[in-house]
Amino acid sequence: MSRFYIIFIFLCVTVSGVRGSTLQFRNPDTSDSCRIFQKADDLFRQQNYELAAAEYERCFYLSSSKEISYKALQQKAMCYKQTGDYEKAAFNLERIADAYEDYYQIALCYYLSNNFSKSLETIDKCHLFFDSLQEDMLLLKILTLNELNKYEDSQKASEELANRLKNSTDKDIAPQINNLYSDLPKLKSEQTARILSFVPGLAHIYANEWGKGFTAFALNAAALGFGVWQVLDKCYLTAYLGGAGLLSVTYPGAMKNGIYTVKKYNYNKTSQFNNNFKQEIISILQHGK
C-alpha cells in the first residue's frame, strides 16, 4: 500500500511539474503566433493602428520564430508610421535592425520626425555596415544634411548620387543638381547680430525687420531721454530709477529680441531653400531616370 502512495505522489509531482514549466517557460508553436499575427493584420486593415501595434508586440513576445518576430516589429513600426508617430516607429525598427532596408526606414522615420542628427547618425551607421549607400539612402542623406545646414557635405553627397546615376542610367544630372546649390541661402551671422544688438534695433534691421528695429530703438531712446531730461531737471532719483530703471528692462530685452530675430530669419531662409530643394531634386531624379 505504501508503494502505491509513493508511486502516486511521484506521478503527481511529475505531472504538476510539467504543468508548472509550461506556465513559466512558454514556447508556443508557430500557429499560435500566426493566429495573433493574423488578428493584428485584421486590426491594421481596420485602421485600428494602436491596438494592432499592441498585438504585433504580443506576436513578437510570444514567437520563438526569428522571422515572425522580425515581421511583427516591422509591422508594428508601420502602425506608428500610419499614426504619424515616427519616433516610435524608428524605436521599434531599431530593435530588429539588420537589413539595409531597416536602416533606411529608421533614418527616414527620424527624418520625418525632424530628428535630423539621429537620421544622419543612422545613415552613417548604415554606411559603416554596408560599405556603400544606395541611391535612396544618398538622397535621404542629402536632404538630412541640408536640414542640418551642412551644405558642403550635402553637395558632395549630391555629386556622388549624380555619378551613381550616370553610371547606371547614362544620364548626366550633375549640372542640374549643381545648379541647385548655386542659390544657397545667404544666412546672417549670429556673431554680427550679437555685436549689432548693442545698439537697440540694429540687429532687427540687420535681419530686415525695419519696423521692429525702429520700435526697439524708439523705446530705448525714450527711456534714455527721460533719464537725461530728469538729470537736467535736477530730479536725480527720478532720473536714476525712472530712466535707468526703465532702460534696464528695455535694453537687454531689445538685445535678446534682436538676436532671436536673426535666428528666425536664418531659420526661415533655410526652410524655404530646403523645401524648394526637396521638390526640385525629386523632380530632377524623376525626369532623369
Partner 1 sequence: MKRILVFIFLLAPLICFPQQNNSAKDEFDFVMYLIGNSMKEEAVVLMQNNTEDNDSINFLKGFTFYSSKMLNLAADNFSKVSRSSELFNESKFFSSLSNAHLLELDKAESDLLAVGSQDEEIMNLKNFSLAGINLLKRNYNLFDNYIHQVDTNNYPLNIETERLLQLKTELLSYKKKSPLIAGALSSLIPGLGKVYAGNIGEGISSFLICGSFMGVTAENWYKKGLANWKTILFGTISTVFYIGNIYGSAVTVKVNYENFNSKTDVQILYNIHIPVRNSFRR
- Binding-site size for partner 1 (CB under 8 A) equals 28
Nearest distance from C-beta of residue 76 to partner 1, angstroms: 9
Q: Identify residue 202 by its one-letter amino acid code.
A: L
Nearer Cβ to partner 1 (183/233)? 233
Task: Please name which of 178, 154, 181, 183 lies closest in space to residue 166, comparing C-alpha atoms.
Answer: 178
Asked if residues 284 and 226 have their Cβ atoms less than 8 Å apart, the reply is no
* Runs of H (alpha helix) within 83-134: 86-94, 100-112, 116-130
Q: Is 94 in the site for partner 1 (CB under 8 A)?
A: no
Q: Is 223 in the site for partner 1 (CB under 8 A)?
A: no
Binding window for partner 1 (CB under 8 A); candidates: 6-14, 142-150, 199-207, 216-224:
6-14
Q: Is 19 in the site for partner 1 (CB under 8 A)?
A: yes
Quick one: which of 65, 149, 176, 238 contacts partner 1 (CB under 8 A)? 238
Binding window for partner 1 (CB under 8 A); candidates: 117-125, 167-175, 238-246, 260-268:
238-246
Task: Please name which of 118, 42, 119, 50 lies closest in space to residue 84, comparing C-alpha atoms.
Answer: 50
What is the rounded CA–CA span in Å between residue 107 and residue 217?
46
Q: Write out the binding residues for partner 1, residues 45-74 only, by CB under 8 A.
A: 50-51, 53-54, 57-58, 61-62
Nearer Cβ to partner 1 (21/271)? 21
| Residue 269: Cβ-neighbour burial (10 angstroms; 0-12, 13-18, 19+) | middle
| Residue 65: Cβ-neighbour burial (10 angstroms; 0-12, 13-18, 19+) | middle
Quick one: which of 241, 246, 259, 284 contacts partner 1 (CB under 8 A)? 241
What is the rounded CA–CA span in Å between residue 141 and residue 168?
20
Q: Write out the binding residues for partner 1, residues 146-175 only, by CB under 8 A.
A: none
What is the rounded CA–CA span in Å between residue 40 and residue 287?
39
Nearest distance from C-beta of residue 117 to partner 1, angstroms: 22
Nearest distance from C-beta of residue 29 to partner 1, angstroms: 13
Query: And the C-alpha cell for 148?
Result: 542640418
Q: Write out the binding residues for partner 1, residues 20-49 only, by CB under 8 A.
A: 22-23, 26
What is the rounded CA–CA span in Å between residue 164 and residue 112?
25
Q: Is 256 in the site for partner 1 (CB under 8 A)?
A: no
Binding site for partner 1 (CB under 8 A): 4, 7-8, 11-12, 15-16, 18-19, 22-23, 26, 50-51, 53-54, 57-58, 61-62, 234-238, 241-242, 245
